């Protein structure tokens, strides 16, 4: 048997404020004495905020979590509290149900009297089976490499074929990843017949931070054989759209790389400030940049800019004039508030736009930024073909913290039959910024909110990877090795005082779940990097 404990933490200022500390944390023990925190000692279950009559958010947290083991199901209880620590109601208690502590039922606010027996029998620590603990760790304990293998022998006609032989790295959850190997063939020509022992080093890519100083909301994109990088340019007060071009991903961040402005300040056209979160997307075979921009009055709004036929991305003259995104009736997305962070994706034959909307920012009527989704026609993607649907609001403590009420920066990752819509919450320029998931099946109607599930805790946050603080506003791409990469910005405030871009590999777990928190050290342990095999070279 093993043991599972639930607890809350003490708030520690900006590093771990009450909105995070006042959530349910989990820890495990194999002997009932020494406990190890799960989820890097970050909360897993958060109290849902309430909506006031004026549509603003009344944030909540919780305390005194306990678990009750019932017949085939576990009940998790906690007291729901106001931000000043007072109990919300004496007669009710928060409740979640779970069978495995990997996934959880929807949060309920239930009658204390109705669940009196379960509440009285609930404990902070319960016994669980070793099998259950293994599954819990696969989801909530950082995955790490445990072995690396290459074939014992390979028969090749030509030594140049050896570069195709890769290593298979196995991880703590049983998942695997194929990695490229640099083989040392010095002294062996491609025509030397015979058998040779060859050593190699598995390619391990460190997380380089920062890769680009003062560039936030990064997007990397391959188009007609070249790589491009576009981002919000904090170095120039977020004015203008700037692009880099290179032959390789690493080349985009080489010293002296040119960053060219393809859309500049234009007072006549109303492109004056907040050139935010540009993204490349191919829609209906045409290349677009989706971004937000504002005029003289601060109010960024979603726009699209299309590359002309045969145009060159780096040439400003090859782009059509940006157009503001509209509803199906021809009106703008909003006349009251701001719209930003628009992204595009296609599921089966249907095209979707997702974006962030916020009303009353900086006022007592601030709604917080909210995620919306709608369909569009790829022949005219700047016009919606459905009414916008409210997809998510920042109701969890990790989304609403440090005075920042955020659901923003949506970006899709479509794997097999699942849509993982990554988005960011927390303080966009602070330590608490983090990336979460909204998930759905490609078989479901994506405009029906009940078909979406919000992961209870973020998938990437400041506690997961050393040296990476406030990670958020991400995108995804597939690199030259065929790996899914998450690009995002983070903070290194002690040195740069700016948002800075970086990236790392997305790890696909044994059940197909895409983990965003894989550090370079856990991706490939130093002790596993060197491999050896025997090559039987037959010659040409």
For 378-391, what is the HEC assignment? Answer: CCEEEEECCCCEEE
**End-to-end Cα spacing for the chain:** 59
Instruction: Tell me the CATH number at 454.
Output: 2.115.10.20
How far from 149 is each of 169, 184, 320, 524, CA to CA, in Å?
A: 6, 17, 51, 12
Determine how many CB atoms are found less than 10 A away from the CB of residue 235: 13
Instruction: Give the angle subtended at the CA of 229 by the CAs of 224 and 235, to the nearest 5°.
Output: 155
Q: Is residue 134 a contact partner of residue 102, using CB atoms and an 8 Å limit?
A: no
Instruction: Tell me the CATH number at 174.
Output: 2.60.40
d(CA 487, CA 231): 11
Annotated active-site residue 217? The verdict is yes
330 and 399 fall within a common domain: yes
* List 177, 408, 492, 523, catalytic entry: 408
pLDDT given for residue 193 in this prediction: 84
d(CA 141, CA 137): 5
Q: CB within 8 A of 154, min separation 6: which ones? A: 162, 165, 533, 534, 535, 536
Measuring CA to CA, which residue among 467, 403, 466, 464 is closest to residue 436? 464
86 and 231 fall within a common domain: no
For residue 330, give both structure tokens.
Answer: 């021809």
Which of 89, 110, 140 is the C-terminal boundary of a domain?
140
Annotated active-site residue 408? The verdict is yes
272 and 163 fall within a common domain: no
Helix (H, G, I), strand (E, B) or coil at 138: helix
291 and 425 fall within a common domain: yes
The residue assigned the tokens 């290593």 is 167
Burial class (CB in 10 A: 0-12, 13-18, 19+), 236: middle
Determine how many CB atoms are found less than 10 A away from the CB of residue 106: 10
Identify the bridge partners of residue 540 per DSSP, sorted by sequence position. Answer: none
257 and 125 fall within a common domain: no
Helix (H, G, I), strand (E, B) or coil at 253: helix
For residue 104, give both structure tokens.
Answer: 């959880």
Buried b (16+ CB within 10 A) or exposed e, 411-444: bbbeeeebbbbbbbbbbbbbbbbbbbbbbbeeee
276 and 388 fall within a common domain: yes
d(CA 332, CA 94): 40
pLDDT given for residue 540 in this prediction: 65
pLDDT, tens digit, 9 for 90 and up, residues 142-178: 999 999 999 999 999 888 899 999 999 999 999 999 9
Which of 140, 168, 186 is the C-terminal boundary of a domain?
140
Give just the sign of the alpha carbon dihedral 108, 112, 113, 115.
Answer: positive
460 and 312 fall within a common domain: yes
d(CA 148, CA 169): 4
Bond from prior residue into 219 cis (ω within 30 degrees of 0): no
Q: Which positions of the chain have pLDDT values less than 50?
A: none
370 and 292 fall within a common domain: yes
Which of 84, 107, 140 is the C-terminal boundary of a domain?
140
Backbone angles phi, psi at 62, to 5 degrees: -145, 170
DSSP secondary structure letters along 323-361: EE-B-TTS-BS-SSSEEEEEEEEEETTEEEEEEEEESST
Q: Where in the sequence is the domain holding 180, given as residue range(s)?
A: 145-204+526-537
Q: CB within 8 A of 538, min separation 6: which ones? A: 155, 156, 157, 193
Domains contained in the chain, number: 3
pLDDT given for residue 382 in this prediction: 98
* List 217, 234, 399, 492, catalytic entry: 217
Q: Is residue 153 a contact partner of residue 534, using CB atoms and an 8 Å limit?
A: yes
172 and 249 fall within a common domain: no
366 and 512 fall within a common domain: yes
386 and 472 fall within a common domain: yes
- Is pTM beyond 0.75 here? yes
Q: Is residue 368 a contact partner of residue 405, using CB atoms and an 8 Å limit?
A: yes
Q: What is the DSSP letter of 20?
A: H
169 and 223 fall within a common domain: no
d(CA 416, CA 484): 14
């Amino acid at each position: 048997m093993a043991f599972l404990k639930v607890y809350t933490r003490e708030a520690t200022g900006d590093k771990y404020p009450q909105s995070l500390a006042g959530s349910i944390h989990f820890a495990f023990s194999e002997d009932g004495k020494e406990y190890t925190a799960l989820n890097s000692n970050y909360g897993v279950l958060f109290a849902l905020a309430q909506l006031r009559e004026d549509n603003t958010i009344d944030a909540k947290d919780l305390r005194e979590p306990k678990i009750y083991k019932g017949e085939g199901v576990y009940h998790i209880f906690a007291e729901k509290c106001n931000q000043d620590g007072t109990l919300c109601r004496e007669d009710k208690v928060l409740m979640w149900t779970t069978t495995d502590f990997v996934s959880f039922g929807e949060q309920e606010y239930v009658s204390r009297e109705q669940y009196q027996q379960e509440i009285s029998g609930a404990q902070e620590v319960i016994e669980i089976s070793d099998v259950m603990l293994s599954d819990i760790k696969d989801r909530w304990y950082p995955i790490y490499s445990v072995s690396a293998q290459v074939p014992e022998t390979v028969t090749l006609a030509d030594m140049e074929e050896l570069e195709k032989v890769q290593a298979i790295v196995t991880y703590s959850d049983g998942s695997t990843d194929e990695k490229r190997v640099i083989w040392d063939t010095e002294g062996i020509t491609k025509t030397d017949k015979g058998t040779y022992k060859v050593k190699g080093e598995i390619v391990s890519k460190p997380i380089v931070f920062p890769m680009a100083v003062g560039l936030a909301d990064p997007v990397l994109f391959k188009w007609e054989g070249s790589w491009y990088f576009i981002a919000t340019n904090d170095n120039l007060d977020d004015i203008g759209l700037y692009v880099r071009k290179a032959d390789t991903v690493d080349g985009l961040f080489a010293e002296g790389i040119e960053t060219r402005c393809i859309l500049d300040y234009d007072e006549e056209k109303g492109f004056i400030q907040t050139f935010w979160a540009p993204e490349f997307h191919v829609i209906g075979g045409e290349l677009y940049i989706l971004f937000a921009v504002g005029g003289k009055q601060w109010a960024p709004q979603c726009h699209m800019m299309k590359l002309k036929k045969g145009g060159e991305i780096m040439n400003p003259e090859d782009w059509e004039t940006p157009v503001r995104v509209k509803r199906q009736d021809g009106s703008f997305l909003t006349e009251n508030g701001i719209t930003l962070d628009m992204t595009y994706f296609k599921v089966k034959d249907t095209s979707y736009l997702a974006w962030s909307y916020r009303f009353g920012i900086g006022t007592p009527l601030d709604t917080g930024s909210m995620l919306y989704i709608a369909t569009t026609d790829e022949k005219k993607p700047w016009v919606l073909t459905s009414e916008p649907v409210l997809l998510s609001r920042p109701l969890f403590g990790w989304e609403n913290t440090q005075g920042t009420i955020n659901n923003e920066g949506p970006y899709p990752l479509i794997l097999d039959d699942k849509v993982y819509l990554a988005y960011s919450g927390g303080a966009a320029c602070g330590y608490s910024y983090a990336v979460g998931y909204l998930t759905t099946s490609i078989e479901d109607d994506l405009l029906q909110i009940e078909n979406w599930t919000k992961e209870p805790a973020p998938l990437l946050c400041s506690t997961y990877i050393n040296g990476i603080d406030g990670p958020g506003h991400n995108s995804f791409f597939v690199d030259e090795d065929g790996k899914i990469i998450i690009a995002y910005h983070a903070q290194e405030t002690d040195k740069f005082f700016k948002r800075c871009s970086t990236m790392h590999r997305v790890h696909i777990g044994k059940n197909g779940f895409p983990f965003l928190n894989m550090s370079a050290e856990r991706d490939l342990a130093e002790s596993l990097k060197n491999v050896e095999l025997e090559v039987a070279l037959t010659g040409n």
